[in-house]
Structure 1
């Protein structure tokens, strides 16, 4: 079957499946360059104490929140195939480790699971609180809600603290989360983080013990339906820091921030979030740069 790779459309699926020739052009088959890139080598750099509660903010709302949060200097990083994906902070005002994820590049679906698994296995948090967005225009509900009235929503792997229940609404089925937050919640829900076995008597190992990690995802409404995730992991693009697809009101960001930390069910409260204007004048390429944390994100 002869196929023009410059044609406007690809042939029907049955036309490809009914052809037994394997050496002909197949537009649905991934290229060699794509398939070779689908191995995620995840590394965490920096000295980060394990066992702390973990805050992970992902995507557009992550970099927007990080700009006004008092995160301090970057203390570590999560790399996937030598590309920095997660920026790690340990600000003085909290005992939690904070990761700003995918502010400089987006993860392809094949890299989400190993990325999430490495973070949880390495840092061994007792609880995880996540911040992400949901597309308000495509949210499925019996009574459509205008964007300006769209509430904060939540998903959780365990019982939710009253503060979250009273200020946000559940993210209800059949709606789905397809970002890296979904991989994190899935791992938290279905896999316990192992610890050392306990010895019952001398010479006889006791039953292994494990601590189930509780996870809570706080979702901020977004007016945009997200683009499909990329097929390959792109290099860091620092101009993404200056690209705001949407600017949330300070009241919304502060409310979401309060719920992220309230999910840990302790008395620790973050400083009030205030939007920071551009700093440092013109950045590379004549474009104004906006900093994440205190700008110390070059690890």
Structure 2
């Protein structure tokens, strides 16, 4: 008598037939998820190449902008026709790009590419933040004692500023700051990112630009002054003091666009750059 040893065994999981009608077809896209598409980026018309470019973004950029007196913006930065920031021209022929919104991931690299290709700067300074509680270091310390960290492109040979620390692997910056540094590295530009320590882990960005909410963020005045000094030293500019300000949260204004919040973003101070 023949005996089939696998007669009473369960069928392998991969052999169980599917009830799906499209078993042999590609699965349909999940509802509510749009396919990837190009992002329209627009900067103000008539911009010229500059030798020095300062890019400030995130909550660190928002806090920094309140301690300086900026000239009138020459125009808005648009992502998919949504104002996400503004462009300023400085008295010494440089430029400042202030990003005042969170950006969808698919807009970060295109925006960084357009900014760098438009201004063609020789030196670029970037101000943003890194998440201190998740930073990996061979010298662990309290997030409350985390230093300002600096990440430079290969062409930036200047030593790390005093009292700052290098931003080292395996840690990674993400989204717009990462896109800017990637573009600068590709084109061989001299650039440095000054990253303030943040105690908060940011929520994942949405699929559309959204105004920043700084209800849970703050940095000591001394940290902002130090970061401000680092930026101007790295750019080779003559810097003046960052002026402390009366802080106003943006949470109650989250429904307003970047254009309408510009008056709140730029704080009172005594410095023109």
**TM-score under structure 1 normalisation?**
0.71
Contact 1:55 1:129 (8 Å CA) reproduced = yes
Q: How does 1:127-206 map to 2 (within 5 A)?
A: 127-157=123-153, 158-162=155-159, 164-191=160-187
Contact 2:68 2:267 (8 Å CA) reproduced = no
Contact 2:50 2:93 (8 Å CA) reproduced = no
CA 1:156–1:22: 2 relative to 1, 3 Å: same
Runs of 4+, deviation exceeding 4 Å: 21-24, 30-33, 282-285
Match of 1:74 in 2: 73
| Structure 1: 5+ residue stretches without partners | 1-14, 192-211
Choose the corresponding residue for 2:203, options 211, 227, 243. Answer: 227
Match of 1:99 in 2: 97
* Separation in structure 2 between the aligned mates of residue 284 and residue 188 of structure 1, nearest angstrom: 31
Contact 2:67 2:245 (8 Å CA) reproduced = yes
Choose the corresponding residue for 1:20, options 15, 19, 23. Answer: 23
Deviations 1:8-27 (A, max 9, x none): xxxxxxx99x9835476x6x
* Separation in structure 2 between the aligned mates of residue 225 and residue 184 of structure 1, nearest angstrom: 21
CA 1:170–1:221: 2 relative to 1, 3 Å: same
Contact 1:69 1:273 (8 Å CA) reproduced = yes
- Verify: 1:292 aligned to 2:262, yes or no: no
Match of 2:4 in 1: none
- 1:125 Cα deviation after fit: 1.0
- 1:262 Cα deviation after fit: 0.8
- 1:277 Cα deviation after fit: 3.9
**TM-score under structure 2 normalisation?**
0.77
- 1:144 Cα deviation after fit: 1.8
* Separation in structure 2 between the aligned mates of residue 54 and residue 66 of structure 1, nearest angstrom: 15
- 1:44 Cα deviation after fit: 0.6
**Rg larger in structure:** 2
* Separation in structure 1 between the aligned mates of residue 121 and residue 77 of structure 2, nearest angstrom: 16
Q: How does 1:27-106 map to 2 (within 5 A)?
A: 29-31=29-31, 34-35=34-35, 38-92=37-91, 94-101=92-99, 103-104=100-101, 106=102
* Separation in structure 2 between the aligned mates of residue 149 and residue 284 of structure 1, nearest angstrom: 30
Contact 2:224 2:242 (8 Å CA) reproduced = no
* Separation in structure 2 between the aligned mates of residue 277 and residue 245 of structure 1, nearest angstrom: 12
Aligned residues: 241
- Verify: 1:274 aligned to 2:249, yes or no: no
Structure 2 counterpart SS, 1:115 = helix
Choose the corresponding residue for 1:218, options 191, 194, 202. Answer: 194
Match of 2:271 in 1: none
- 1:276 Cα deviation after fit: 3.4
CA 1:22–1:228: 2 relative to 1, 3 Å: farther
Match of 2:236 in 1: 265
Deviations 1:98-145 (A, max 9, x none): 1111x23x2122111111111111111111110110100000012321
* Separation in structure 2 between the aligned mates of residue 181 and residue 262 of structure 1, nearest angstrom: 19
Contact 1:50 1:123 (8 Å CA) reproduced = yes
Contact 1:58 1:100 (8 Å CA) reproduced = yes
Deviations 1:32-87 (A, max 9, x none): 66226x32111111543322311111111111111122113222222111011221
